[in-house]
Amino acid sequence: MSTPVLAHITVMLDAAVEALLGATAGGAGHYVDGTFGRGGHSRLILSRLDPQGRLTVFDKDPEAIAQAQQIQDERLSIRHEGFRHLQELPDGSVDGVLLDLGVSSPQIDDPARGFSFRFEGPLDMRMDPTRGESVAEWLASAEMGQIAEVIRDYGEERFAVQIAKAIVARRQERGPISSTTELAQLVADTVKTREPGQNPATRTFQALRIFINAELEELQQALEAAVRVLRPGGRLVVISFHSLEDRIVKQFIAKHSKEVVDRRVPFAQPKPMRLKALERVKPTDAEVAANARSRSAIMRVAERTEVPA
């Protein structure tokens, strides 16, 4: 029986692009889509740019890069890298940075990628399956304490220790876990209570995916790089899908929306704030009704203030 595959619907498509372009409507600016995915945001950005405008896109996923390469547009530059490589762009060279975090529908719905507990597949979860260690490979050798820490910290799972013990016990008795359904069943057998409507494995799968792809560390690096590469008035737009990501983005914008006083030099002028928080946006009821995967999305928008040093 074939696996049902959901069409990819870009979350907050119009709202994100309008926030990114601001009053300029794109024009001849240089913009960055840090997560090309299947190109929904990128295609709309390109449609609103002048012939002199430019768009640089990043993505780790080879399938996303293949999709990007189908766009015949001289204004488009494609980089098969994670968005932390924003830091390689020149200071003050960009008019807007968009980061649409998380996993796309084609990634989730492809059993071979191993992102979902709904389908039988290899326990992989790498955004770029050509690089690095899969979840199965990591779980085959990681210590119980390491596994518990990852599931607790990245999945906010209160049964992290019990799940980690079960994974190690299973490994010792019958060998390492290699498939998504094996892990999902083990978690279901271990976690006896769960929020209504949520699969017991949801938090564990989220935690392992975030960890194996170093998603939160890369987000921190990309936010720092974005502030540096943005021109004054340039926009930072970030769409998050869970509390760990959104907390990082919220705290980062708040931190850089304040003047910094060096208390070691009492009479020195405070360093001006680098960002101005503009808005926090949730999907409309109509969008959530049309695309259930948008329901947890939060979009935060900020604007670069001072001239880069």
Query: DSSP letter at 162?
Result: H
What fold, for 128-212? DNA polymerase; domain 1 (1.10.150)
Q: How confident is the model at residue 216 (pLDDT cuts 50, 70, 90)?
A: very high
Tokens of 283: 């999907």
Beta-bridged to residue 233, according to DSSP, are none
Q: What is the dihedral of CA 91, 222, 132, 162, to 10 degrees?
A: 160
Rounded average pLDDT over 202-230? 96
How many whole angstroms separate alpha carbon 151 and alpha carbon 206? Answer: 8
pLDDT at 5: 39
Is 4 a residue whose pLDDT tops 60? no
Is 237 a residue whose pLDDT tops 90? yes
DSSP per-residue codes, 16-82: HHHHHHGGGTSBT-EEEES--TTSHHHHHHHHTB-TT-EEEEE-S-HHHHHHHTT---TTEEEE-S-
Give residue-wise pLDDT tens across range 276-297. 999 999 999 999 998 888 889 9
Is 56 a residue whose pLDDT tops 60? yes
pLDDT at 309: 47
Rounded average pLDDT over 129-149? 96
pLDDT at 10: 87
Between 225 and 270, the more confident residue is 225
Rounded average pLDDT over 91-96? 96
pLDDT at 123: 95
Q: How many CA atoms lie within 13 A of 197 on its CB side?
A: 0
Is 269 a residue whose pLDDT tops 80? no
Contact, 218 vs 83, CB < 8 A?
yes
pLDDT at 183: 96
How many whole angstroms separate alpha carbon 303 and alpha carbon 231? Answer: 9
Domain boundaries, the chain: 13-105+215-304, 128-212
pLDDT at 265: 58
Query: DSSP letter at 133?
Result: -
Is 270 a residue whose pLDDT tops 80? no
From 281, 279, 263, 270, select the one nearest 306 (Cα to Cα): 270
How many whole angstroms separate alpha carbon 22 and alpha carbon 16? Answer: 10
Tokens of 242: 């869970």
What are the strands, taking DSSP E only, across 241-291? 275-281
Mean pLDDT of the chain: 90
Distances (CA, A) of 101 to 55, 239, 243: 18, 6, 12
Give residue-wise pLDDT tens across range 172-194. 999 999 999 999 999 999 997 77
H or E element at residue 230 = strand 230-240
pLDDT cut 70: percent of the chain above it: 91
pLDDT cut 90: percent of the chain above it: 75
Is 7 a residue whose pLDDT tops 70? no
How many whole angstroms separate alpha carbon 243 and alpha carbon 80? Answer: 27
Tokens of 171: 């490994």
Is 261 a residue whose pLDDT tops 70? no
pLDDT at 2: 37
Amino acid identity, residue 3? Answer: T
The three-state secondary structure class of 10 is coil
pLDDT at 1: 33
How many whole angstroms separate alpha carbon 26 and alpha carbon 22? Answer: 8
From 166, 177, 183, 181, select the one nearest 137 (Cα to Cα): 177
Query: DSSP letter at 232?
Result: E
How many whole angstroms separate alpha carbon 193 and alpha carbon 303? Answer: 43
In our burial notation (b when 16+ CB lie closer than 10 A, e otherwise), range 262-286 reads eeeeeeeeeeeebbebbeebebeee
State the CATH class of domain 13-105+215-304.
alpha beta
